[in-house]
Every structure is written in structure tokens, then in C-alpha cells.
Amino acid sequence: MKSTLTILLFSPHSAIWIHAFPEALIAEALQQENHRIVYVGCGEEFQSFCVCMSAYGLKQSSSEQEKKAICKICNKQKEIIKNNFKFDGYDISKLVTETERARTELILQKTTFQNFLELKIDGIELGRIALYELLLQYKKSNLNFSKNEWSSYLISLKNTLISFFASRRILDKEKPDRVLTYNSLYSVNQVCCQLAESRGIPTYFLHAGSNLSNRLETMMLGTKSTYAFNENLKDYWNTYKQIPCSHDSLKLVTDHFLHLFEGKHFLAYSSAKIDKIDIRDLFKVKENQKILVAAMSSNDESFAAEAINAIPQYDNLIFPQQIDWIQFVIEFVRYRPDLFLIIRVHPREFPNKRDSVRSEYAQILEKVFKNLPDNVKLNLPEDHLSIYDLAEYTDLFLNCLSSVGEEMSLLGIPVLIYSSDLVAYPSEINYVATSQEDFCQKIDVALADGWSFERVRTTYRWYVLKLVRSIFDISDSVRWYETNSSAKKPTYQQILVNFIYRIYYKILFTILRNNTRVNYNERIQDCKKRATSLKAQKVISKLIQDKKNIVLDIINQEEEPSIDLSTETEALKHEISRLSNRFFRRI
């Protein structure tokens, strides 16, 4: 039977198995629907430094031996995937000519601090694209580089250039109908995607789901990037905000929050929630004062996305920068003795469980936070306070663009934001200020309104849309469990798998340094134990084949079983009870 589409699977990061294996499952689902898969690996082309090396804890300065060990893992796992999934394809290292390598070196020699943003080939802004991982690694909030940072940038730029030449060659050769990659924001992936889009070829990204209770058992699939995915979700909000949710769906949302409360997951920046802590006593809040928490965001993540044009820069904000907003709030509270402001600096600005770098932005904030009024206090990561400890006592959260804005709304707490454009969720679940004067007035309006059950209901519906309706369930082939949480009792097999993964990552460097062979049998077993086909196979194929943006584009809501409002209300009360009994006694 003739293939329907040719799909280029750009996959140069096979060393990250929790990305590479689910990615292969999606590609196999497409292959089983008679689409042709062209699998593109790395072939040690990015041996100077790459995303895989970063994921294993290496840095640009790590030894050549350590880097080669990661390349070995990448090569081996790539071959396991290609052999078990029967994928044909190429390595980037085999696609680039000596002429292109020489051109790459010449470009690197001519690239300077002054001209790197001007580097374009065929209209693709390579100098800009190469910034992404670097800005996150060093937590940059500007484009002024130290000597060490510039050296790291040149490595990224070299990889980006090589990816460009390889991608251009394979697009010319294969003329694919679609391009698919895991996390399209990675610089070498972004180049391939932009080249494809410049030729009118739709590109799709893959990413693990956002629900921490089953993250690896689910998959996001959509056009362009995760940022586009969130915007597409928001477009569907007007439809789904009116639809009551089933108890099973609401339960999955609660499971996610119970994982957040425990603070064990590497994606949960907040510390674990502490029992028996009195926030009013800790910060010396007076009895007659209402508590406001200003939740700051990590500046480098938004800066990195803006730098590569993954998100737009907005010029019509009532506070041009986050720092302008926080300074305004401080001055507002200074003259309101009835209020007490706690400024929560984002944990990412400081060394944390994911990285060890202190951001440049943290140094700027320290200057702003000198000589604060008596009714304003800082909550820094060193306090080891959970955002959910604060939530038990907070009367109003003030938010810029953090996910805290949706999390606190689910707990029924009022949240005030100053721009609908900045947040990755429907702004209507918060109060939205339209001017600085309106911002001040809405503080009092939100405080007067207080906690709301209907706010809980509405935000639960948003999370069901985000965590349940819009993702693909791949648990028929993936049974990986990242954390042991009271949110979901793990099976014996899940506990064992989780234990193996934790031990694996803890001793990885010891294994590499001692030149001990990594046991790949677990990877092979993952492949052998996968389902014959994913249940979502036909829907995945239809999304790609019909050029749809997200799965919601092809779901017929009328075919779903309807839930009446009273049934949802009873289910919500049960889920609120789960949150309240376990961690959050206020609601």
C-alpha cells in the first residue's frame, strides 16, 4: 500500500530516553497508519556539547571522555529505537559536506559580539536561534556575554549551523510533508522546523504532558511549539468553560496538585508544603492586615523565548517590565498600613534542584529590595517555604506571568494580573487590570470578593482542558512513574521502575568515569513490552494528516458523555476535600 505522507522525525537527542522512546511511539503510530518515517539522528555531530550532555549534568567545560560517554549512550539508544521500530533514516554527521563544515568554521571566525544577531542564511535567523539553551543555562536577562558565556554560545552556534546545513540537505532530498521533533525550542531542532516552515511544510512538536502525576504517560502534540499549543488551548476556552467535567477528569487535576504540594518533582520549583506553620506569625503580620503575595516569575525563561521570537514582545503593557510592576506594588503598599505584602522571588533566580546558577536578575532585584517598608517582606528560596504555605493565609495573589496565577485560582483564591497577553492561561479566571489606577482599585475589589467556589469550578475546568482533554494517553506503552506521592498509589512495578531510574541518574557519573558499560537491557525491554499499537493511533494520524493544530481540532464534543452540573459539583466537593484533608486545610 502506498504511503500517505513522508514525515521527517528530527531526533538528535536519543540519549534522553524519556524523550526518545515516547517520541518513537508516536512515530510508530504514524508509521502504522501507512505514513513513511525518516528518522534523523545525530551521529556524534554535536560532540562539543549538546542538550543530552546538559541533561546528564555535563557542562561545556566537561572532559572529552565524559562527553564521548554520552555520545555512546546516544548512539546505542538510537540503534535500539531504529532496530525495534524499523525506522529508516540518516545521521546528521553523514549529511554535512566538507564544504559546509569549512563554511561553518569561517562563519564562526567572523561572528562577534557586535554582529551575531545579524547572522542569517536563507532568511533563517541562526544567530538568534542559537541563543535559546545558552540563555537558560546561564539564566541571562540580557545579551551581554562574559568570555566563558561567549565560548559556550559559539558551541551552540556551530551546532545550529551544522543542523541548518544537514536539515536543508535532507529537506531537499526527502521533500517531507511534515516535520516532527521533541521540543522544537531546542536550537538544533528549531532550525530544522524554521527551514521546513519557510518551505510551507507544517511542523509539529512533541512534549511530555504537564500533569506531574502521569507526565511521562501522556504526550502533547501540536504545531510549532509549546507556546503555540497554549495559545491554541486558550482559543478553545470559550467552548469548554461551559462544559461540566467528569469525576475521573477532576481527579486527575487533583492528583497533579498533590504532586505540586509535595514539592518532590524536579519540575516543581516550590518547596514541599510544611504542616503547622503560621505565616502571619512568621512574617509578623498584624491582625488587621490583609496579606498580599506578589508572585514573581523567572525572567530568563521569558527572555529566552522572546530572544528567539518564540513569543512576541508586547509594547502596550501598563508595566513595561516585571521590575516596574513590583516597584509599583511596593510603593502602593507603603501607604496602605491595612495591607501586608510578601514578595515571593521565583526559586529559579537562585540555585535549585534543576540547576546551580544564580541569575543576573537576582542581583538587580537585590537593589530594588533595599529599604523596604515595614509592611513589605521578602520570601526567598532560602526560607524553604512552599507557595502553598503562603496560600493558606493569603487574601490576594498578585501575578505577572507565572503559573501561580492559575494554581491559586484553582484553590479559590483571588488573583490579580495586569495583562491578558502575558499569561499562558485564560485571563478571565483572574482579575485583570487595564491601567495602573485600575490595578489599585481591583486590589480592593478582589479583597472584598474573597474566596470563591465558582472560581474553583472554573479553574478546574481549565485544568481538565489543559491536562486531560488536549493530550494523548500513551500509558498503554509507557509505565514510567517519576515520584512516589500520596496523590496516586503506585503499583509495585511502578515503585521498582522509579527506584531504578533514581539510582540510574544518581550513579551515572560514577559509571561514566569508571568506564563501566551501561546496561541497555531496560531500554530493549521498554521496546519489547510496548503495545502492538497505541489506542490513540488513528487520532494522532488524523491530526498530522489533516494539518490540525491540536487534538481538540478533531474532537467532536457532542460525542462525549454529558455531565450535569450537580454531578460535577459533588465531584468537585470530593476533590476539594482531598486537597484540604491532605495539604490545604483552608478550603
pLDDT at res. 495: 43
Smallest CA-to-CA distance from 551 within 570, 566, 537 is with 537
Write down the pLDDT at residue 513: 39
> What pLDDT does residue 587 have?
59
Strand pairing report for 218-223 and 203-208: antiparallel
Q: List b or e across 41-66, with b for residues whose CB sees 16 or more CB atoms inside 10 angstroms.
A: bbbbbbbebbbbbbebebebebeeeb
Q: Which residues pair with 180 in a beta bridge?
A: 9, 204
CB neighbour list of residue 271: distance below 8 Å, 6 or more residues apart? 263, 347, 381, 384, 385, 386
Q: Please, which residues have CB within 8 angstroms of residue 192's CB and are 6 or more apart in sequence?
A: 8, 10, 163, 167, 179, 181, 203
pTM above 0.85, yes or no: yes
What CA–CA distance (Å, rounded) separates 509 from 499?
Answer: 17
* Residues 419, 425, 430, 431, Cα dihedral to 10°: 20
Task: Going residue by residue through the chain, which has 587 residues, state the pLDDT in tens, using 9 for 90 and above.
Answer: 556 899 999 999 999 999 999 999 999 999 999 999 999 999 999 999 999 999 999 999 999 999 999 999 999 999 999 999 999 999 999 999 999 999 999 999 999 999 999 999 999 999 999 999 999 999 888 899 999 999 999 999 999 999 999 999 999 999 999 999 999 999 999 999 999 999 999 999 999 999 999 999 999 999 999 999 999 999 999 999 999 999 999 999 999 999 888 866 445 445 566 667 899 999 999 999 999 999 998 777 888 999 999 988 888 899 999 999 999 999 999 999 999 999 998 776 655 444 555 566 677 777 778 889 999 999 988 888 889 999 999 999 999 999 999 999 999 999 999 999 999 999 999 999 999 999 999 999 999 999 999 999 999 999 999 999 999 999 999 988 665 443 344 444 444 444 444 444 444 444 433 333 557 999 999 999 999 999 999 999 999 999 999 999 998 765 667 899 999 999 999 999 999 886 665 55
Interstrand relation of 6-10 and 178-182 (parallel, antiparallel or unpaired): parallel
Other beta carbons within 10 angstroms of residue 73's beta carbon come to 21
